[in-house]
């Protein structure tokens, strides 16, 4: 099955600047109360939430399947994040040995396979179509941080509506000719992101992420922070399907060079 470099481009804008449905089926709209928040107010809220999480640590379980993998896999994972887009993602098999160790910084990635003694380096734009793990890794990076809502640019156009008692926000960057590149669903009562769809410039679905069972994980400058306990994600080509179950999330921990391992990351070693 062909690879889609657009997924990684979407990753940079939605997940890294700042990831289970195979398509967008139209459903009946259920009339309800008038909108109590504007699109601009919602964008401001998301920007505040994203900016308030300067660093993050998380531990979670991963169930991965899809055409890109020979067989379903289950792993444990550890994430280290520093805003706006420096990430270390480690995965471990159930027996405890490391599957891979990935670091992203300054638009580049460094991928280590400790058990094989191999490594790869390149631009983030190449990661999506690098070997069998490329698509699941790209999707996983989108999914881990997608509940923050992603990055909004000053030139983005946004349109808000209500559908089935949820707020739906369409994001249309001017650079993409005004086409919808992201669609976010919000729980009306909490304004938490319930789902996010990502599209390429032609309107084709690139990825869908569903966020469930939010719980309080701490407080930030933007107020109490909640995080989804479960995230389901699927890429638009069916190459990768993920279920992430978060065990522990720590917002704004102090990070040291040990958190980044042996890979140089913006002055950290």
Interval 35-81: pLDDT, tens: 688 999 999 999 999 999 999 999 999 999 988 788 888 999 999 99
Kindly tell me the burial class for residue 56, based on how many C-beta atoms sit within 10 Å of its own C-beta (0-12, 13-18, 19 or more).
buried
In the chain, the domains with their CATH numbers are 5-20+39-252 (2.50.20.10)
With a cut of 70, say whether residue 264 has pLDDT above it. Answer: no
**pLDDT tens figures, 188-238:** 999 999 999 999 888 899 999 999 999 999 999 999 999 999 999 999 888
**Structure token pair of residue 132:** 């069998």
Question: What pLDDT is recorded for position 154?
Answer: 86
| CA 153/CA 173 separation, integer angstroms | 8
Asked if 62 and 242 count as a contact pair (C-beta separation under 8 A), the reply is yes
CB 176 within 8 A of CB 159: no
Cα within 13 Å of Cα(164), Cβ side: 6
pLDDT for res 166:
94
More confident position, 148 or 94: 148
What are the two backbone dihedrals, phi and then psi, of residue 14, each rounded to the nearest 5 degrees?
Answer: -100, -35
> Cα(64)–Cα(139) distance, rounded to whole angstroms?
10
Whether the CB-CB separation of 86 and 104 falls below 8 Å is answered with yes
User: Average of pLDDT values for 130-149?
Assistant: 85
pLDDT at site 123: 87
Helix (H), strand (E) at residue 140: helix 134-145
- What pLDDT, on a 0 to 100 scale, did the predictor assign at position 34? 52
Closest among 87, 69, 31, 59 to 259, alpha carbons compared: 87
Asked whether the beta carbons of 172 and 190 are under 8 A apart, the reply is no
Report the C-alpha gap between 49 and 192 in whole angstroms: 11
pLDDT tier at 13, thresholds 50, 70, 90: very low
């Amino acid at each position: 099955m062909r690879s889609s470099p657009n997924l990684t481009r979407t990753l940079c804008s939605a997940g890294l600047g700042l990831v289970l449905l195979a398509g967008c089926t139209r459903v009946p709209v259920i009339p309800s109360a008038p909108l109590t928040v504007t699109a601009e107010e919602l964008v401001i809220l998301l920007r505040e939430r994203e900016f308030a999480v300067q660093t993050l640590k998380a531990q979670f379980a991963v169930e991965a399947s899809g055409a890109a993998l020979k067989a379903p896999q289950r792993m444990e994972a550890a994430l280290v994040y520093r805003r706006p887009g420096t990430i270390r993602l480690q995965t471990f098999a159930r027996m405890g040995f490391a599957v891979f160790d990935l670091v992203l910084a300054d638009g580049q990635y460094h991928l280590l396979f400790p058990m094989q003694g191999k490594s790869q380096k390149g631009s983030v734009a190449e990661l999506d179509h690098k070997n069998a793990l490329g698509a699941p890794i790209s999707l996983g990076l989108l999914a881990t941080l997608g509940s923050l809502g992603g990055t909004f640019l000053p030139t983005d156009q946004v349109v808000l509506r209500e559908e089935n008692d949820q707020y739906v926000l369409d994001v249309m960057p001017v650079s993409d000719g005004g086409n919808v590149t992201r669609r976010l669903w919000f729980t009306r009562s909490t304004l938490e992101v319930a789902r996010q769809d990502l599209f390429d410039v032609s309107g084709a679905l690139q990825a869908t992420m569903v966020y469930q069972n939010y719980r309080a994980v701490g407080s930030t400058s933007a107020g109490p922070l909640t995080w989804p306990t479960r995230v389901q994600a699927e890429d638009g080509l069916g190459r990768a399907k993920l279920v992430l179950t978060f065990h522990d999330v720590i917002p704004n921990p102090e990070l040291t060079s040990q958190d980044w391992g042996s890979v140089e990351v913006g002055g950290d070693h």
